[in-house]
Amino acid sequence: VGGQAASRPRCSVAAPGSLPTGEPAFTRSAFVAKKPNYDQPNWFGVGLAFSTSAALWALVSVFVWFCWT
């Protein structure tokens, strides 16, 4: 039984960027890392965040008002 375990191939993790085809692992990236530009805020994202927060607060407030009054 011990000899069979020694003859099995070992599992190994391939090094990053080395695929069997010889091509790099990541040729394109959907996300690009860049420094944030604080001079030009993303006003759409800011408005979406604040409006979502306000809508959730309103929904919870109405729910609490109807359930506990």
Q: Where are the domains of the chain?
A: 41-69
Structure confidence by residue, pLDDT tens digits, 21-46: 655 565 667 777 788 888 999 999 99
Structure confidence at residue 54 (pLDDT): 97
**Long-range contacts, 35-44 (Cβ 8 Å, 24+):** none
Give this prediction's pTM.
Answer: 0.46
Q: How far apart are CA 53 and CA 59, in angstroms?
A: 10
**Range in 13-17, 35-39, 65-69 the model is least confident about:** 13-17
**Rounded CA separation 43/63 (Å):** 30
